[in-house]
């Protein structure tokens, strides 16, 4: 009973201790978003990531609905690439 709760709490605290809190635009790097407006090489579109709509560019064409990962942030614009599909074990 009580020991299981204490053990679970200890596990949670140990796991959270190793994480680094990221804030600001840099926190977007590595986040996965969804393309809202088509993105083409040389033409910006928009991507919804981290609860916000961002102007986005990419070296590849991305259609609305595609998943994209943020690789860099410059001002109010993010650069994205197609997110690799997740594989189920």
Domain total of the chain? 1
**For residue 53, what are the β-bridge partners?**
48
User: What are the distances in angstroms from CA 44 to CA 12, 13, 30, 36?
Assistant: 41, 42, 19, 11
CATH of the domain at 52: 2.40.50.140
Tokens for 32? Answer: 């996965």
**15 lies in a domain?**
no
Containing structural domain, residue 77: 22-89
**3 lies in a domain?**
no
**84 lies in a domain?**
yes
> In the chain, which residues have pLDDT < 70?
12-23, 89
**4 lies in a domain?**
no
Determine the Cα–Cα distance for residues 83 and 5; give it in Å rounded to an integer.
Answer: 37
The pLDDT of residue 53? 96
**62 lies in a domain?**
yes
Rounded-to-5 percentages of helix, strand, coil across the chain: 20, 40, 40
Confidence (pTM):
0.70
């Amino acid at each position: 009973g009580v020991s299981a709760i204490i053990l679970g709490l200890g596990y949670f605290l140990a796991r959270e201790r190793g994480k680094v809190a990221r804030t600001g635009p840099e926190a977007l790097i590595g986040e996965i978003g969804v393309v809202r407006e088509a993105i083409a090489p040389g033409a910006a579109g928009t991507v919804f990531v981290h609860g916000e709509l961002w102007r986005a560019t990419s070296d590849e064409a991305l259609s609305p609905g595609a998943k994209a990962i943020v690789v860099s942030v410059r001002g109010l614009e993010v650069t994205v690439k197609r997110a690799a599909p997740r594989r189920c074990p």
